[in-house]
């Protein structure tokens, strides 16, 4: 199975449908509930619920996911001599729930087939498909906010500035931003000096850079000056961003709680300070991308 440890836990939604085609006489008997094996839709509904819960056991690469909500509806389409099956599923998890919705449709269709086959030899299951899915990084409502945005990255590190160590976090952040369609305008390395940090960030804010990211200097070391420096120049703080980064990191390492990451706004620029370790920076950015760019719309007065 694919590694999903780096994914965020979000609300996931999926909707699927499928059709069972039969002859006109069969449709009439379904409408009057005159069937040799009894209640058609009650049994099909129960089977769909059971089938959706067993998806991870049936499909080899599917991850087990909690199903927080699952519903199924049946519609008799007389003009098409068909029964339409529709499922909706919700889950708060790390991966999508579309396979559970599709499995529910498929199992319900098979049960309908089984219950109708004594009276109809021409039954056909067709057009099982996903109607829509929401949640996660592929959610169009979220990912659209990052498109066309730009960013600059400030690496705050004495050792990188002195050439004693290559920068890892800045380049890792740039790669993540590029995947979201964000143009990285510059990666700059400065020492852990408050004046250097402040001058770079304020200059970029005057340029109306959409997102300014600093990496490094968020810990408890004697030269970890970034957090205190950034806090002094913010027009307003966005505490929820730092909370999400720490929460996401804490699920992966017990040391994330020691990070003093901070986020806020300077003029029309979003400023986010993340840890200097490559893993810490990647996890922090994964936690907030691409949703952080929704702040652009809010700052422009366009609301939610």
CB atoms under 10 Å from CB of 23, counted, come to 15
Q: Which of 100, 93, 9 is nearest to 62 (CA)?
A: 100
C-beta of residue 188 within 8 angstroms of C-beta of residue 209: no
Terminal Cα-to-Cα distance of the chain (whole angstroms):
36
Distance from C-alpha of 116 to C-alpha of 218, rounded to nearest angstrom: 66
Buried b (16+ CB within 10 A) or exposed e, 186-205: ebebbbbbbebbbebbbebb
261, 265, 263, 167: which is closest to 209 by C-alpha? 265
Residues forming the active site: 114
Q: Say if CB 265 and CB 206 are below 8 A apart.
A: no
Inter-residue contact 93 to 7 (CB < 8 Å)? no
Continuous H helices in 144-208:
158-161, 169-179, 194-206
- The count of other CB atoms within 10 Å of the CB of residue 24 is 9
Strand partners, 89: 14, 70
How far are the Cα atoms of 188, 190, 297, 302 from residue 156, in angstroms, in the given order? 9, 5, 29, 33
């Amino acid at each position: 199975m694919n590694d999903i440890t780096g994914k965020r836990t979000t609300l996931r939604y999926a909707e699927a449908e499928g059709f069972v085609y039969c002859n006109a006489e069969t449709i009439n008997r379904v409408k009057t509930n005159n069937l040799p094996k009894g209640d058609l839709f009650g049994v099909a509904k129960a089977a769909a619920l059971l089938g959706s819960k067993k998806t991870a056991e049936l499909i080899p690469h599917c991850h087990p996911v909690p199903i927080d909500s699952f519903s199924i509806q049946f519609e008799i389409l007389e003009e098409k001599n068909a029964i339409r099956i529709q499922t909706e599923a919700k889950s708060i998890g790390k991966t999508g729930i579309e396979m559970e919705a599709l499995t529910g449709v498929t199992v319900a269709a098979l049960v309908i087939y089984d219950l109708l086959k004594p009276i109809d030899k021409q039954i056909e299951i067709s057009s099982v498909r996903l109607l829509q899915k929401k949640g996660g990084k592929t959610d169009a409502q979220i990912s659209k906010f990052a498109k066309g945005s730009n960013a600059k990255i400030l690496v705050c590190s004495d050792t990188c500035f002195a050439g004693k160590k290559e920068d890892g976090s800045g380049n890792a952040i740039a790669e993540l931003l590029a995947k979201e369609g964000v143009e990285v305008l510059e990666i700059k390395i400065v020492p852990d000096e408050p004046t250097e940090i402040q001058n770079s960030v304020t200059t970029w804010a005057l340029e109306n850079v959409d997102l300014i990211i600093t990496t490094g200097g968020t810990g408890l070391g004697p030269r970890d000056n970034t957090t205190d420096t950034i806090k002094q120049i913010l027009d307003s703080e966005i505490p929820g961003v730092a909370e999400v980064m720490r929460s996401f990191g804490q699920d992966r390492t017990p040391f994330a709680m020691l990070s003093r990451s901070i986020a806020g706004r300077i003029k029309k620029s979003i400023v986010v300070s993340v840890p200097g370790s490559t893993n810490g920076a990647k996890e922090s950015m994964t936690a907030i991308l691409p949703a952080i760019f929704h702040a652009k719309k809010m700052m422009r007065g366009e609301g939610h």
